[in-house]
Amino acid sequence: MDFFNSLLNFIVPPASMVMLAFSWPTLSFIHGLEWLFRSLSKENMEDKVVLITGASSAIGEQIAYEYAKKKANLVLVARRDHRLRGIRENARLLGAKTVLIMAADVVKEDECRRFVGDTISYFGHLDHLVNTASLGHTFYFDEAHDTSVFPHLMDINFWGNVYPTCVSLPYLKQSQGRIVVNASVESWMPMPRMSLYAAAKAAVISFYESLRFEVKDEVGITIATHGWIGSEMSTGQFMLEEGSEMQWKAEREAPSTGSHVEEFAKMIVAGACRGDSYVKYPSWYDTFLLYRVFSPDVLSWTFRLLFASHGTRKLSHTGTSQPLLEGPPPRKLLTAPPTAVQYQQRG
């Protein structure tokens, strides 16, 4: 057996490269035809029900607006319910039929069961579940003196996807719906000061890749991966207060909207409606994945060169008691007079 594996180690990699080189044009052509067919028969979201977690800012907010333009019914879930009020108004002005807002913590299974149950009670069905709740960090691992923050990073980034999916899955099977996941290229591409975040995102992608085979064609799964797009998640280090409640100490001002975030949100919703398995922004990041598989040393040398430190590292404040900055001011609403459907519930 050892001889057989050694022989395969010698034969399979170069043979696979040759086969890939010859088949790549044909596969690209077939993929293009599939993309064209799905674009012509994309899902009509009018009156469909879309539940979005992490909808209070950044990518979750922009995804809500994109679904609103398609006249979907929205259920917006986040811890910061005061931020959801303004987003609800904007979504209605953009075309959403009904917008419910619910304050909940996605890392608590009972609260996930509550907001999914309330959604079914109100609408009777669920078509798309969009998981965007994420929590990043900007500290070096060896500077993290308070290890109590580690489980919270995994809770938000991993279990904050798994629990809503677990509760929603029976209803998504009934409607032959779709799960949309906000992941990141850090799941396979090394980045300094993002070790725990990268590990959590890798776990998320592995979970949904496996789930895709389990549910087969009953529920579609769209995994969206992005590079650096800018969002509140990347504005600074975080401080921990009262369990899983996260507050921010910003290193610089970074708006939760921007051309890159909005463009990525458009790509995610368009890809979900087409039934795409993956949405990647920007797609040229895949080049690094090829290097990781076939020439990992080259990738390692490249990133060591790119991320070489030319000065003193900026120390992390994780686990300290320095004062926190207040959240950003409320967003200016679009102007129009329609009445709003309000639905709030606290655990």
Distance CA 341, CA 33 (A): 42
User: How many other CB atoms are there within 10 angstroms of residue 151's CB atom?
Assistant: 13
Distance CA 343, CA 76 (A): 10
Backbone φ and ψ for 283, nearest 5 degrees, come out as -70, -20
Distance CA 298, CA 156 (A): 33
Distance CA 122, CA 128 (A): 15
Q: Are 52 and 99 in contact (CB under 8 A)?
A: no
Beta-strand pair 246-250/236-240 = antiparallel
User: How many other CB atoms are there within 10 angstroms of residue 37's CB atom?
Assistant: 12
Cis peptide before 282 (omega within 30 of 0): yes
Distance CA 107, CA 117 (A): 16
3-state secondary structure of 299: helix
H helix intervals, the chain: 2-40, 58-69, 81-94, 109-123, 149-154, 160-175, 195-215, 259-274, 286-294, 296-306
Q: Are 149 and 195 in contact (CB under 8 A)?
A: no
Is residue 197 flagged as an active site residue? yes
Tokens 């931020």, residue?
A: 83
**Of 163, 171, 197, 208, catalytic:** 197
What residues act catalytically?
Answer: 197
